[in-house]
Every structure is written in C-alpha cells, then in structure tokens.
Structure 1
Amino acid sequence: MFKTKRSLLIMLVILAMVLSVVGCSNSNNAQSSSSGETTPGTSDNHIAGPAIDKDTVVIATADETPSLSAAGHNAVAGDYVNKLTYNGLFRLNKDINPVPDLVKEYTVEEDENGEKSIWVMTLHEGVKFHDGSTLTSDDIIASLADAKTHPEVLTYTTSVVKTEKVDDLTFKIYTDGASSSLLYDLSHHSNSIRPKALIDADNDFNANPIGTGPYKFVEWTRGEQIKFTAHEEYFDSDRAPKIKNIVWKIIPEGSSRTIALESGEVDYVIELDSTSLDSLKANPDISVLEVPSLSHNWLTVNNEKVPFDNLNVRKAVCSAINREDVITVALNGAGVATEGQTPEGMLGFSSEDFDNYDVEAAKGYMDAWGGDPSTIELDIICSNDTKRRAGEVIQANLKEIGINANLSTMDLATYLSVTAEGNFTGFIGGYTSSNMVSFLQGVFLSSNINASNKTRTANPELDALINKAAKTVDQEERRKVLEEASILLNKNAYQMPLYQNYMISAHSSGLDNTFISANGDFAVQEWSWK
C-alpha cells in the first residue's frame, strides 16, 4: 500500500533518531510531570488503568489542546475537544461536505443592489446550552461577532460581513457577493455557538467551555487529561451520546500510547504512531482505521528572514529533501510524498513547476544564490516524535548541500505561539482543511500573517487569486483560479512540502460505529460499546 525506499541513509537516521528520542523523551517526561496545573474547579485525581465499565471511553492523544475555547486557537488538537462541547451552525459530514447542524433550514437571496448575498437561516427550536439557557438568534450574532476578534482564526471569520436578527429563531448573514466558503467557515470550530450572556460577561471559555455540544466539560488536569460527561438535553436525538463519560488522556510518546491501548488503559488512540501500525494490525483485540488524508505537512521557513527571503535558497532546500525517506522514517511508510505546494486531492491542485527531490538541482540553486551554505542558520522546531523523526532526515539531506540544520523540541502550545509570532527560522508543521480556498486563505493569505500564515508570505498576486476563488461559485471556474494559485506557489517555493500522511487511529475492537474522515474528523457521540 505504501511506497517506501530504504537506504543506508535511512539506517543511519534511524540510529540517530533512536538515540535522540531517548534523550528527548526523558526531557519531555520531566516537563510533563511538573505540569500538573489544573483549571479552576479541577482536581489532581485522574483515571488510571483500564476502563471498568461501558459508560466510559478513554481516548489518548499526543498533543494537549492549547485551549478549550472555540475561537482562541486554530489547532487540530483543540478542534477535537471543541467538537465535544460545541456545535456550529453547520458541520462537515463524513464526505467533508457542510450540512446543517444548529440550523434547521436556510435560503439565499441577493440585496437590492446585487452586491451582497443574504443567507436567511432558521434555528432548531428548544436547543439547550450546558448551563440550561435556550439558544436564540442573539447567541448566533454574539458568537460570530466575538469570533472576529480572534486573529488566530481570521481565515474563517472574514466571509461573514454582517449579521442581523429577524426573530428569536431566524437571522440573516450577509456575505460580500457570492461566497464559496461561507458554509465551510460556519462548520469550523472558531464559529461555534456560545451563550451571548456569557460572552457579554467575559466568561473564560477556556476554563468554562459552555456550548450546546453532545458533551459537557467536567475538569482539566493539565498535562494529563480532560474529562467530559454527556449532555442529557442534547438537541439532536439521532446523534445524542451513546457513551456517558469521555476521558481525554494526553500521552505524548507514541509507544506509550500503543502500550496503553494494548493493556486496556485507553480505548481509542488518535493519531496512532505509525511505528506501531504493523503490530496493532496483527492484534485481534484492536481495530485500526487508516484513511488517506488531506493534511498537508511541510518544513516551513520564515520568508522574512535572510537568506530564506531568497527564492534560490528556498528552492535549494525544497529540492534537497528526499520525501520518500522522510515518509519511511517518520511515518513507517504511512503516507504519500507531496508533489505540490497545495494538497493533492483538492480542487485546483497542480504539480506544475514544483521542486521535487533533486540534489544536483539543489546544488545549482545554491550556486545561483552565491552565498556560503555553512553560514545559513536553520533551527527546525518540532512539537512531537513524528516531526522529530522527519527532522532527522531533513537534517541529513541538507548537509549534502552544505547547510547545517539544528533540531529543537517544544510543547504544542509554545510551538503554536512562537511560530505564529514569526520567532523562528524553520519548523515542521502542517495544515488540515476541508477545501482548497480555506487552505490557501489560512496558509498563504497576507492578512493572516501573525496568525495561520506562518511562512509570512505577502504576495499581492496570490492574494488576488485567493480572494477571487472565494467569490467564484461555479466549480469549474473556481478550479481554474485555484490551479493558477497552486502553480504560482510552486514557482515561489514559500515552504518545503513533505507528505500527506494517512489518518491512522486504533481502538479496542469492542467499540462500534467508529470512522475517521480524510480531514481527521470523527464523531465520539456516535460510538457505542458492542
């Protein structure tokens, strides 16, 4: 299934990786053991050992969410838990298409000048928040307005130009002409709906995440776990929780997550470490889910810093990386090499003018630059084991063209903050989106510098193409615009794409109704014990 390439380089990298991970793991464990801080109202008590009843499921993840708030982050780790406590007006289904969630029905009109589209939406009646209050249009308007104040999620809030209340269950959303992205944006966790009264009272949604979601927050023991319990008044009876209690355990090391699953300490592992894939597939008590993903992963360099502001240097680095070796070492083969600056499988992808692995071409780009490669300072930040393994391969690759790269590791919250602020030369990261317009807006739109545009790209021609695509409803016309943007990105090599990984999860074979979509979504409330 997976294309792999093994070489002496891989063996050397694996040996170096094993030695470095041992040291890194000890450091991480020391840091984790000292981070037992809890949010107000939490305790130090936590569940240990295997689940003892079918009222509970224990989920293990590598990365701790940076926040329980809906709009205060743009991290996949946060999106996972946000889906437990919040609902949006829309949600993405298994095929990654937006479908109504809190919205019962909607229509689209044009204003009298034909300049704006008016989306008239009606809510389900009697929806209850976790605090017992009833959802109204006022909560919608307040939530969407509050989301606009958070720069981390600017990508997903700009399509809403204005909101207007019609009555308690009906409201209008205005967009700047036609919009191909609004319903996708309204499906994003940043636009999740919260009570207006709490927003007005400056409630700390990180400590008190009140939404309408299928689960209520119970407590958060920092560095260890988060507990949730079922929302018994959940509005959607067809998707109401089947399992009462959820324990979300943070286990940074991949091997430790696997051991916890095999021993019964946890029931479900998100983002399974691919080094455990073969052994778990052979275990009759474990079910493995693997789906080709839309997650685009890369080495990012800071385009504002010398010499990465130079096109030849960026192209040299992009050409020097052996992506097949990265996939073998970092993912145990569970991925496909990228062939473009945008995700393959999305509307408008193109591989034209992309810098594939070619060491001689990389050396030629370095010659065209004319500088001394040994003077380049590239510190590659990693936030987990997989990124660290990828970094080991990249480090070896870059030595072949004279660049000495250093690797450093930091926790996810710090990593997100540092990279958003531009305080880096390089890092290994990725971006998961449901459609190409959202991907381009998040990763490359200049207005998202200091937020999700971490390459710090500022290209007016690219901005114009992205904005045009966002307003182009006809799919074929939008494809042409997006393809033009993809080729422009390939020519400019703002970052060094590595792979699109497989979404891999594993769980106790006793769990039923599990699935994972190509963008990593899953629905805990649909799970049940056999």
Structure 2
Amino acid sequence: MIKKIFLLIIGMLTLLGCEKKEEKKEEKPLVIVQGSDARTMDPQKAIDTPTVRVYNQIYDGLLKKDKDMNIVPGLAESWKKIDERKTIFNLRKNVKFHNGETLTAKDVKFTLDRMKNQPTVSFLISEIEAVNVIDDYTVEIVTKDGFGPLLSHLSHPGAVILNEKAVVDANGKYDQNPIGTGPYIFDKWLAGDRIFLKANPDYYLGKTPIENIVIKSIPEGTNRTIALETGEADIVYDVEPVDIDKIKGNENLKFLMEQSLGNAYLGLNTQHKPFDDVRVRQAIAHAINVDDIIEVAYKNTAVPGNSPLSPKIPGYNKDVKNYEYNVEKAKNLLAEAGYPNGFKTSIWINDNTIRKDIATILQDQFKTIGIDATIETLEWGAYIDRTAAGEHDMYILGWITVTGDPDYGLYPVFHSSAHGRPGNRSFYSNATVDKLLDEARVSTDQEKRMANYKEAQRIIQEEMPSVTMVYNNQNVATQKYVENFVLHPTGYFDLYNVKFSNK
C-alpha cells in the first residue's frame, strides 16, 4: 500500500513538472533586438524608427497601410469623401483601450486636436481645419482646402489614436504611461536597455499568440548578430551588411531583405557658414564617391541615390541633377566660394556602425579637397534633439517615406515651416519649393501634384541642402522557429500574430 501511494505521488509530481515545463515554454517571451532604445511612448513626441517600432505594437490608427502600401481600415472600418474638404469616418464599435475605456469619436477628435500643438507631428494634419464629432462612432474631418495626402497621413504612426482620459490622467507623464488599443500593452521600461510589452486580451482582432515581448537595444551590430546566434534574441532588426552571409549560412536562422522606401543622406546645415553657400554644398556633393560607400559600408546591398524620393515613391524624378564624383570640380567650386584651401568642420553621427563607416569614408574623401572634418558620435536621443536644435554642421541620417506619398518624403524635410524637429535638419528655405509643396499638398489633382513634386526635386538637387547618397534595403533576421513575421516597406513591423513554431 505504501509503495502504491509512493508511486502515485511520484506520478503526480512528474505530471506537475511537465505542466510547469509546458507552461514555461508557452510563456517564453519574444525577444527583439534593435540598434537604439525608443525615445518616448507618446507617439506625438517622436516618429524616429526605433521609437515607432515599439509603440506601433501599442496603438492603432484610423487607417493603416498594408504590405503593398494600400490604405486599409484600422480603427475606422469605413470612410467616405463627401466633397473636396469633408471626409466622414465610421469607427469600429466596442474597441477597448488598455485602461478599459471604449473608443469613441471624442478620442479621435482629442487626438487630432492635440497633434496640432505637437511640433513633431503637426505637419501631418496642418491642413485640417476641424474635427467634428457626429456621434459616438462617426467623425467628420474638414480640411482648409483639398488635402491630397489626407488618408496617407492618417495612416502614419504619429497619428495613432489616444485615449483622452489616459492622457489627462497621466498629468504630464503620458510618455511613460501609454494607453492604446493595440495588440500589446505597455508593461515596463528599463531606459537604455529594454521595454516589456504584454498581450492585450481584449484586442478587437483577437488576442495575439505570444504573451510577452521584450524589445532590447544593442547599438553594436555584431553584438546584435551574436545575440541571435546564441539564442538570446528571436528577431534582430537592421542586420549589419558584414554579418549577412554569416546569418544566411546558419541553418537555424532566417534572413529577410527587400528595398525600403528610404535613403541615407548627408545633411548640411544651411544656416551655418560655409554651408550657407550653394557652391560649397555642390562641392561636397562632387567630392563624394558613393561607390566606395556602397562597397565598404553597405557591402553592395544599396544603390546610388539621385533624389530625396525613392524610385518606389510616386513623383520620383529620375532626371534631376546628378553629382558625379569629380575632385577637380569640387575644388574649383570651393575656390569660387572663397575657400581655396578648404575649411574645418564636423560630421555628426549616432552610434550606428554603417554611419560610422560612411563618416570615415567621407572624412577621407573630403581631405582631397581640403576639408578637415572631425567625426562626433552622439547617443541617439541627444543626436535627434541636437540636430533638431541646429547645433551641427553636417550629419548623417536617413528618411523613409513611410506614408508612400511624396508629400511625406519632401514636405517635412525641405519645407521652411518644418525646420528642426519635424525633419528639416538642414534648415533649408526656398520660397519656390515651399510654394510647390504647398500647392501639391492642397491639391487632389494627382497629375498636378506629381508635376510639382518633380519640379521641387529639381530645385532641391540644384541647391543641395542634403546629399542623398544611397537608397538602402531593410533587413531582419529571425530564428527559424519564428513564424508569421513579414517585412513592411515602411520599416515599421507588425508583431500581431507572430508566433513560435511547434516544430
């Protein structure tokens, strides 16, 4: 009898042990690694890629873009254009915010009205005159005139919908206490290290398979790859080109890559001497051998750029001025500008391997025309803040036209109203460019819009406030057991329905 009881106890303990092991397996978090930490969880305060990739899991917008960049329903299940200025949006019913509040039209109005006073995102809706609540689930948006990119802009992560009560109750600390309607709920944040998210059990599309997500920041690209190889990470964003072949050769890993909607550029602060002289800016463009950058920094995974817009964006102008590598022409332009012996300056970058490599290449190339450029590396948050404040001379950054509309690729980067934080970190101003962009923005005539954007690109390439060096690819590596992860042209990845294989 005692023996039977003993065996029974052993059996029960074994079953309990199995259940605990199974429970532990189910609770394994999805660990994602990227190069920089997020800057805030308030989507109206920051729209840089590392930040958006986090809060994109927490919030939903009225609209979104699918993998083919088509506009599809988000929190708005349908919409109808009433006339040139008015559009009606019908909201989904019974959608819950993470604090239990029900989504209503008042939250949409609160969100868009709040955006108007946020320098980082106000340009997205600057043409909206009024947001009218028709009833709990119907919103009317009225623009000042026509507004060609309205739907595209409402699909932008900076326009995701906030809960009015949550923002008000946070009492100025909302950036650390985000409340959305998205598939994941904010849990906690170890600043500079990692962010924890947990599945939203009440998500309107159904609960996502993985219970917990950890998003870690590891600045050094090779260390990100090591984290993947050792199993510390399940997904790694932005694999360094030098590590691609190694990952492709690992049978336990998957590698994904496709052309992005963005570019990498060298920005020139047109309010700082000598960069206020167009001849100096043109000289710098002629002094850059892009082929070296593509070979060394990108390991031949990028292509030369000739315009701020990617060839994948409507309105791209393939015929704008192209600055061939020509040291003599660069020297002559510097001499004409009064700098026959060059000058001293600096190139700012953040802690990013590719940008470090590009800066080093540029430093060497600029020496051939007498420009002595030091390289200064800043932490990501400080980099974004200080370039927005205009403290730099030159800087290396990228811009992704995430809405798929040329307005977003040009207006926030080159319109004089967008100096600093929205994106015009070259502090470039040109009245003709402003007029072209303003006209295109309020027009719904797509042919006219595209003509304006092509002319704006022509002028920008002539005046060179920034040098578009390359059109780059986006890439991600994952463990083989990660399923349902797909790339998106915007570089903002959706983790809803990502799961672990049972195999």
TM-score, normalised on structure 1? 0.87
Which residue of structure 2 lines up, in the alignment, with residue 440 of structure 1?
Answer: 410
Compared with structure 1, are the counterparts of its residues 382 and 362 closer, same or farther at alpha carbon in structure 2 (3 Å cutoff)?
farther
Which residue of structure 2 lines up, in the alignment, with residue 503 of structure 1?
Answer: 474
1:190 aligned to 155, 158, 181, which one? 158
Question: Which residue identity does 1:304 align to in structure 2?
Answer: Q
Which residue of structure 1 lines up, in the alignment, with residue 465 of structure 2?
Answer: 494
Which stretches in structure 1 are left out of the alignment for 5+ residues? 1-50, 111-115
SS in 2 for 1:293: strand
2:369 aligned to 401, 423, 443, which one? 401
1:204 aligned to 173, 183, 188, which one? 173
The question of whether the paired residues in 2 share the 8 Å contact of 1:162 and 1:174 is answered with yes
Q: How many residues align?
A: 473
Compared with structure 1, are the counterparts of its residues 52 and 356 closer, same or farther at alpha carbon in structure 2 (3 Å cutoff)?
farther
- C-alpha separation in 2, matches of 1:381 and 1:520: 20
- Give the deviation of 1:276 after TM superposition: 0.4
1:457 aligned to 428, 437, 442, which one? 428
1:64 aligned to 27, 37, 42, which one? 37
SS in 2 for 1:525: coil
The question of whether the paired residues in 1 share the 8 Å contact of 2:262 and 2:309 is answered with no
Which residue of structure 1 lines up, in the alignment, with residue 203 of structure 2?
Answer: 234
Which residue of structure 2 lines up, in the alignment, with residue 87 of structure 1?
Answer: 60
- Can you list the C-alpha shifts for 1:17-71, whole angstroms capped at 9, x where unaligned? xxxxxxxxxxxxxxxxxxxxxxxxxxxxxxxxxx955642100000111111110
- C-alpha separation in 2, matches of 1:97 and 1:309: 40
- C-alpha separation in 1, matches of 2:25 and 2:241: 28
- Give the deviation of 1:199 after TM superposition: 2.7
Question: Which residue identity does 1:272 align to in structure 2?
Answer: V
- C-alpha separation in 1, matches of 2:340 and 2:389: 28
- Give the deviation of 1:329 after TM superposition: 1.8
- C-alpha separation in 2, matches of 1:104 and 1:298: 38
Which residue of structure 2 lines up, in the alignment, with residue 45 of structure 1?
Answer: none
Which residue of structure 1 lines up, in the alignment, with residue 113 of structure 2?
Answer: 145
The farther-off stretch of 192-201 and 297-306 is 192-201
1:253 aligned to 198, 220, 227, which one? 220
Which residue of structure 1 lines up, in the alignment, with residue 104 of structure 2?
Answer: 136
Question: Which residue identity does 1:415 align to in structure 2?
Answer: Y
Residues 9-20 of structure 1: pairs in structure 2 closer than 5 A: none
Compared with structure 1, are the counterparts of its residues 472 and 507 closer, same or farther at alpha carbon in structure 2 (3 Å cutoff)?
same
> Does residue 362 of structure 1 match 2:330?
yes
Question: Which residue identity does 2:36 align to in structure 1?
Answer: D
The farther-off stretch of 304-313 and 441-450 is 441-450
- Give the deviation of 1:328 after TM superposition: 1.8
- Give the deviation of 1:236 after TM superposition: 1.9
2:456 aligned to 472, 475, 485, which one? 485
Question: Which residue identity does 1:64 align to in structure 2?
Answer: D
- C-alpha separation in 2, matches of 1:454 and 1:104: 37
The question of whether the paired residues in 1 share the 8 Å contact of 2:199 and 2:211 is answered with yes
- Give the deviation of 1:373 after TM superposition: 3.8
**CA RMSD for the aligned pairs?**
1.5
Residues 316-327 of structure 1: pairs in structure 2 closer than 5 A: 316-327=283-294
- C-alpha separation in 1, matches of 2:471 and 2:162: 34
Residues 93-132 of structure 1: pairs in structure 2 closer than 5 A: 93-110=66-83, 117-132=85-100
Compared with structure 1, are the counterparts of its residues 435 and 253 closer, same or farther at alpha carbon in structure 2 (3 Å cutoff)?
same
- C-alpha separation in 2, matches of 1:322 and 1:333: 14
- C-alpha separation in 2, matches of 1:498 and 1:423: 22
- Give the deviation of 1:405 after TM superposition: 0.6
> Does residue 180 of structure 1 match 2:148?
yes
- C-alpha separation in 2, matches of 1:439 and 1:285: 38
- Can you list the C-alpha shifts for 1:250-301, whole angstroms capped at 9, x where unaligned? 1111010000001100000011111100110111111001011111111111
Residues 268-283 of structure 1: pairs in structure 2 closer than 5 A: 268-283=235-250
SS in 2 for 1:166: strand
SS in 1 for 2:90: strand
- C-alpha separation in 2, matches of 1:174 and 1:517: 30
- Can you list the C-alpha shifts for 1:295-348, whole angstroms capped at 9, x where unaligned? 111111100011100010000001111111112222222111112243232222
Which residue of structure 2 lines up, in the alignment, with residue 524 of structure 1?
Answer: 495
Which residue of structure 1 lines up, in the alignment, with residue 301 of structure 2?
Answer: 334
SS in 2 for 1:212: coil
Question: Which residue identity does 1:213 align to in structure 2?
Answer: G
- C-alpha separation in 1, matches of 2:157 and 2:371: 40
Which residue of structure 2 lines up, in the alignment, with residue 3 of structure 1?
Answer: none
SS in 2 for 1:79: helix
- Can you list the C-alpha shifts for 1:89-146, whole angstroms capped at 9, x where unaligned? 1111101222120001111113xxxxx5111111000000000110111111111111
Compared with structure 1, are the counterparts of its residues 61 and 52 closer, same or farther at alpha carbon in structure 2 (3 Å cutoff)?
farther
Which stretches in structure 2 are left out of the alignment for 5+ residues? 1-23
- Give the deviation of 1:381 after TM superposition: 3.1
> Does residue 386 of structure 1 match 2:354?
yes
- C-alpha separation in 1, matches of 2:81 and 2:176: 37
- C-alpha separation in 1, matches of 2:77 and 2:376: 48
Percent same amino acid among aligned pairs? 29
Question: Which residue identity does 1:209 align to in structure 2?
Answer: P
- C-alpha separation in 1, matches of 2:350 and 2:194: 22
Question: Which residue identity does 2:32 align to in structure 1?
Answer: I
Question: Which residue identity does 2:281 align to in structure 1?
Answer: R
The question of whether the paired residues in 2 share the 8 Å contact of 1:227 and 1:248 is answered with yes
Which residue of structure 1 lines up, in the alignment, with residue 316 of structure 2?
Answer: 349
The question of whether the paired residues in 2 share the 8 Å contact of 1:129 and 1:212 is answered with yes
The farther-off stretch of 477-486 and 340-349 is 340-349
- C-alpha separation in 1, matches of 2:369 and 2:308: 22
- Give the deviation of 1:241 after TM superposition: 1.5
- Give the deviation of 1:439 after TM superposition: 1.2
Residues 213-232 of structure 1: pairs in structure 2 closer than 5 A: 213-232=182-201
Which residue of structure 1 lines up, in the alignment, with residue 4 of structure 2?
Answer: none
The farther-off stretch of 325-334 and 122-131 is 325-334
